[in-house]
Amino acid sequence: MPSTVEDTASCALCRRHLLVGEPARLYQDPQSKRFAKVCPLCYERADRRGWRAEGRPIVAVHANPPSDHLLRERESLIDRLRGQLQSVEFDLDRVRSALAKAEQQAAELRGIKRELKDLQGEVRKHEREVRSLQDEKRRAEERAAQAEAAHKSEIARHHSVAAALDERAAEMAKVAQVQGQLEQELESQRARYVELAEARRKESDARHVRRLALEAFNRSEHIERVVAIARSLGDPIVNVRCDGLELPRPVKITVMWDISWYEYVVRLDLLEHTVTVEETRRGDDPRELPAAQLEPNGVLRADRIVLAMQAYGVGQSAASGR
Ligand SMILES: [Zn+2]
């Protein structure tokens, strides 16, 4: 129990006995929560101390001397009750502060719950990130596998291209070989053409020689016998051929019927411009002669032997020759 108001009739600050009818006032010290009775002379001191005035001034009603014991007891009871009230208020303050503390703790608990909730949200967010990272990793692995496959197919393509290039090179080599063969063939064709041209020139020369030989033969006496025999046996087969390249140039003239043949040799010296015609052989059956000598290339026309058209050369070029 507080003992603040033990001496109910004295001032708490100046300790002076309160006079009868003097209006004392009840103050409370906010720190100690104690109540104190203060005389009117000490109001300002109490105010300066920060005490709080409780209610209106109390007029001390006790008698001096305290003859009225009942009144003193009542006043004492009031003081005790005030002390109890003060104690209750003190307890109430503690309860209030406990309540405030509890509320604060509840608020803290709510804050913690919010933080926990936030943390759970954070955890879920992290889990989502982990899942997305796993997805990303899986996609990256798929891309890597695709890139690997693409790389392999690229390598295969390079190999096939290289093989195609090799094949191409082989073809080129083959083509070059064929080209070489063709060039060789062309070269041999050129050589053959040169040979043909040379032969043509010689042939042309030979034709000229044969014509000269026939002109000599037609001027000789031997033509008269040929013409005579032809009157009875018909036109003969005539073969005129150069018989060598020596000088004078020998030209062999063979005149054949079914049952007889004559062979003459005309020798021409083109340099000396001399000519001789002589009969070299005769016979009955022309089949005893070599086949080349049986080929007809001259005809008896009226009283002279001329070269047949086919004797003028080879193929169409005969027209351009003489
Ligand atoms: Zn006082």
Q: Which residues pair with 53 in a beta bridge?
A: 27
Give the whole-angstrom CA distance, residue 163 versus residue 171: 12
18 CA to centre of ligand 1 in angstroms = 8
Is the pLDDT score of 63 beyond 50?
Answer: no
310 CA to centre of ligand 1 in angstroms = 181
Q: Which two tokens stand for residue 40?
A: 């009117």
pLDDT tens-digit readout, 245-276: 777 788 999 999 999 999 999 998 876 778 89
The pLDDT confidence band at residue 121, using thresholds 50, 70 and 90, is very high
49 CA to centre of ligand 1 in angstroms = 14
Is the pLDDT score of 2 beyond 50?
Answer: no
What's the confidence (pLDDT) of residue 315? 40
13 CA to centre of ligand 1 in angstroms = 5
What's the confidence (pLDDT) of residue 228? 94
DSSP-derived secondary structure letter, 77: H
Is the pLDDT score of 144 beyond 80?
Answer: yes
149 CA to centre of ligand 1 in angstroms = 106
What's the confidence (pLDDT) of residue 62? 52
Q: What is the pTM of this model?
A: 0.37
The pLDDT confidence band at residue 310, using thresholds 50, 70 and 90, is low
**What are the residue ranges spanned by the domains of the chain?**
23-107, 202-313
60 CA to centre of ligand 1 in angstroms = 13
The pLDDT confidence band at residue 314, using thresholds 50, 70 and 90, is very low
- Alpha carbon separation from 92 to 77, 97, 263 (Å, rounded): 22, 8, 176
Task: Find out whether 204 and 261 touch, Cβ atoms under 8 Å.
Answer: no
Stated as kind and residue range, the H or E segment containing 87 is helix 69-219
Is the pLDDT score of 60 beyond 70?
Answer: no
The pLDDT > 90 percentage for the chain reads: 54
Window from 28-42, 55-69, 244-258, 270-284 with minimum mean pLDDT: 55-69
73 CA to centre of ligand 1 in angstroms = 23
Window from 56-65, 100-109, 173-182, 217-226 with minimum mean pLDDT: 56-65
Provide the edge-to-edge strand list for the sheet that holds 261-269. 274-283, 261-269, 249-256, 237-242, 298-301, 304-307
What's the confidence (pLDDT) of residue 242? 87
Q: Which two tokens stand for residue 239?
A: 């073969």
30 CA to centre of ligand 1 in angstroms = 19
Window from 47-56, 125-134, 229-238, 309-318 with minimum mean pLDDT: 309-318
9 CA to centre of ligand 1 in angstroms = 11
What's the confidence (pLDDT) of residue 321? 37
